[in-house]
Amino acid sequence: MKLSNKNLSNKDLKRLLLDASVTSIVKEIDHASPERSYLIFNLLPTNKADKVFNLIEPVSQANILKEIDTKKALVILEEMEPDDRARLFEELPEDKSSQLLKRLSAKERRATSLLLQYPAETAGRIMSPFFVSLRANMSVEQALTKVRAEGREAETIYMLPVVDDSYSLQGVVELEELVMATPNQLIENLMHKGAKCFSVNDDQEKVARYIQSTDALAVPIVEEPGRVVGIVTIDDAMDIMEDEETEDMFRAGASGTLGKPYLSVPVFRLLQIRVIWLAFLAIAGTLTVKVLNIFESTLNEVIVLSLFIPLLIGIGGNTGAQSATTIVRALAVEDVRVSDFFVIASREMLVGILLGLTLGTFAYIVVYFAFQQNIVLIVSLSLVAICTLAALTGSLMPILARVLNLDPAVVSAPFVSTIIDATGLLVYFLIAQMILQF
């Protein structure tokens, strides 16, 4: 008997859930339809239910919360971390979330409202407002006593901001350092002064990337003018990076993200997510029909030219995608800046020319035996021109996006390919006309 078997009786399912690991139950709920998610959750032994609820996706949490009675929902919500609760509230219908928010305890309600006042994807929205703060003049022993007294309420005590009377950041201490230090040592001498902090309005990805590159366990988040109001932890950072990268990956695949497990997304929703991208790219693609229309007489005379259309635009699209992917990534991890655009353009153009020369020479030799001399020349020269143009366009488009204050990742491979298709055809036929006329 397996948990994933949908024909189990409730009794069998209940027995299975008794022994199943939390991870496997979480996976099963995230896979299941809303109805089945609710069923499984209801059959869980109480000691597992809390743990499972905290680990499933916000969408699954919302599906379950919509079904269970308000009293039970409030018990669960009261136990959640404010940042997880804020994420769950985003998934609930407006009326349901405001109804539940109103009935939370004052402390938890305030914490959640605090986060919800910041826009989505900012540090303020994802931070945890419950942390233990220390003072510079405390001894290690006093600090540990404070941590023990307040630690249960905090999301994490691994990183402890040190603040002054006006709650402005003096430094941070890690729990590890506190444990290893001698009891009478002063926090002042232990703390990292000049520790990096972020503003509530900073982009969540910026905070996550900082945590990743420095291996910090958490970073303090401050409100103007420098008051510490929360912390963002490394596990939050990891989830953010994962989400951002899933998003980029779907963009590279000409599609939006699903937001929930594949099998729980209805076919109609899949259609919805994809048709917008596809329609947009198709409309951009009609440019190729226009270009070919212009050269219809050339095509009519030398029909063999049409044989190479898919190959040439395919290579152009791939070359452009290579450059775009490289530069989008380099911009994201701040390997390059907008001001490097001239270096980038020269490098990519050079790579493009070299790629074109390599493939062009190769094509010249292969096509030489099968086609007329002038066709061979047209195809080879077009390859050089198309590769150069594609590499240049592909590398400059993400930079242009950044200049226009857009996420460079919008310049995804399918987008670049579509743009380059039409340009490539234009180049191909111009070269063809030039060579065939002389």
Token reading at 62 = 């919302």
Residues of this chain, 278-317, that bind a copy of itself according to CB under 8 A: 278-279, 281-282, 285-286, 288-289, 292-293, 296, 299-300, 303-304, 306-311, 313-315, 317
Q: Do residues 206 and 163 make contact, with C-beta atoms less than 8 angstroms apart?
A: no
Q: Which is nearer to a copy of itself, 113 or 306 (CB)?
A: 306
Q: Which is nearer to a copy of itself, 89 or 277 (CB)?
A: 277
Q: Which is nearer to a copy of itself, 144 or 377 (CB)?
A: 144
Could you tell me how far CA 376 lies from the centroid of its own chain? Answer: 45
Residues of this chain, 1-30, that bind a copy of itself according to CB under 8 A: 21, 23, 26-27, 30
Q: Which is nearer to a copy of itself, 100 or 378 (CB)?
A: 378
Q: Which is nearer to a copy of itself, 16 or 100 (CB)?
A: 16
Q: Which is nearer to a copy of itself, 122 or 326 (CB)?
A: 326
| 251: amino acid identity, one letter | R
Q: Do residues 187 and 173 make contact, with C-beta atoms less than 8 angstroms apart?
A: yes
Q: Minimal distance in Å, beta carbon 243 to a copy of itself?
A: 11
Q: Minimal distance in Å, beta carbon 421 to a copy of itself?
A: 5
Which region among 71-79, 98-106, 112-120, 206-214 touches a copy of itself (by CB under 8 A)?
Answer: 206-214
Among 321, 385, 419, 426, contact with a copy of itself (rule: CB under 8 A): 321
Among 16, 29, 144, 401, contact with a copy of itself (rule: CB under 8 A): 144
Assess 345 for contact with a copy of itself (CB under 8 A): no
Q: Minimal distance in Å, beta carbon 96 to a copy of itself?
A: 26
List CB contacts of 341: < 8 A, sequence separation 6 or more. Answer: 396, 399
Token reading at 371 = 């086609």
Among 113, 214, 361, 372, contact with a copy of itself (rule: CB under 8 A): 214
Among 97, 133, 326, 423, contact with a copy of itself (rule: CB under 8 A): 326
Dihedral sign for Cα atoms in the order 51, 54, 55, 61: positive
Among 359, 410, 430, 435, contact with a copy of itself (rule: CB under 8 A): 359
Report how far residue 291's alpha carbon sits from residue 197's, in angstroms, rounded to the nearest whole number. Answer: 53
C-alpha closest to that of 61 among 40, 22, 28, 92:
92
Report how far residue 178's alpha carbon sits from residue 229's, in angstroms, rounded to the nearest whole number. Answer: 22
Residues of this chain, 155-194, that bind a copy of itself according to CB under 8 A: 156-158, 175-176, 179-180, 194
Task: Say how many residues touch a copy of itself, by CB under 8 A.
Answer: 112
Assess 229 for contact with a copy of itself (CB under 8 A): no
Residues of this chain, 60-119, that bind a copy of itself according to CB under 8 A: none
Token reading at 349 = 């153009």
Helix axes 22-31, 34-43, angle to 10 degrees: 150
Report how far residue 191's alpha carbon sits from residue 203's, in angstroms, rounded to the nearest whole number. Answer: 27
Residues of this chain, 257-276, that bind a copy of itself according to CB under 8 A: 258, 261-263, 267, 270-271, 274-275
Q: Minimal distance in Å, beta carbon 245 to a copy of itself?
A: 5
C-alpha closest to that of 74 among 39, 102, 115:
102
Q: Which is nearer to a copy of itself, 64 or 332 (CB)?
A: 332
Assess 404 for contact with a copy of itself (CB under 8 A): no
Helix axes 82-91, 58-67, angle to 10 degrees: 70
| 247: amino acid identity, one letter | E
Report how far residue 27's alpha carbon sits from residue 203's, in angstroms, rounded to the nearest whole number. Answer: 30
Among 239, 243, 400, 436, contact with a copy of itself (rule: CB under 8 A): 239
The strand pair at 169-174 and 198-199 is best described as unpaired
Residue labelled with tokens 């929902």: 73
Residue 181, SS3 per DSSP: coil
